[in-house]
Amino acid sequence: MNDITRKPQPICRRDFLGQIATCACATALGLATVGMARLPFPAVIPGESSKVKIGHPADFPKGEGLWIAATKAFVFRDNEGFFVISGICTHLGCIVAQDPKGFHCPCHGSAFGNRGEVTKGPAPSALPWLEISLASDGQLIVDTQKVIPMGTKLKV
C-alpha cells in the first residue's frame, strides 16, 4: 500500500498532554535563560549627574561673575560668600550675557538685574539661583538642577 494514501494515526490524549507539557517547559526554560542573560546589564541607565565640580574657592576672585560653561551659570563671590545664578533665560532658554546692569538676553531682549530679577520682559521670571556647596576635597560643587531661594549664599 502507498504511504501517501495512509491516514495519520490519531494521537492519544496522554501523548497530546505530554507534548503540551514539554512545550510549556521548553518555553519557560527559554524565557528564564533570556532573563538570566540580561542580568549583567543595568535595566536603568543613569543620566548625567547634575552636580558639577567647578574648582577651589581660591580660584574665584571677588567681584564680577565668572561664566562656567559646564553649569551654564555665573558664579559670584562677594563678602558674604558664593552664589550661582543660572545663565539660561526663563523666556525660551537662550543663554544670557552679563552686562553692567546685570544680564540681558540676546534673543528677545529680556533684561535682568544683578540678582537675576526681571527688569524687562518678555522673561516671565527671574534667573534661578542654583545650589552651591563644598565637596569633601575642598572644591565647590554646583547642582544645576537644584534651585534655591534668591539671596542664599555659601559661606566659605
Q: Which residues bind ligand FES (CB under 6 A)?
A: 89, 91-92, 94, 105, 107-108, 110, 122-123
CB count, 10 Å around CB of 54? 20
- Hey, is 6 helix, strand or coil? coil
- Element holding 22 (H helix, E strand): helix 13-38
Q: Which is nearer to ligand FES, 77 or 91 (CB)?
A: 91
- Between 38 and 108, CB nearer to ligand FES: 108
Q: Alpha-carbon distance 121 to 104, whole Å?
A: 10
Q: In angstroms, give the least distance from the CB of 114 to ligand FES.
A: 17
Residue closer to ligand FES, measured from CB, 54 or 105: 105
In the bound complex, what is the minimum distance in angstroms from residue 119's beta carbon to ligand FES? 12
Coil, strand, or helix at residue 18?
helix
Distance set, CA 60 to CA 23, 67, 75, 80, 117 (Å):
70, 11, 8, 14, 23
Q: Nearest distance from residue 99's CB to ligand FES, in Å?
A: 14
Return the SS3 of 10: coil
Q: How far is the CB of 132 from ligand FES (least distance, A)?
A: 24
Nearer to ligand FES, 94 or 156 (CB): 94
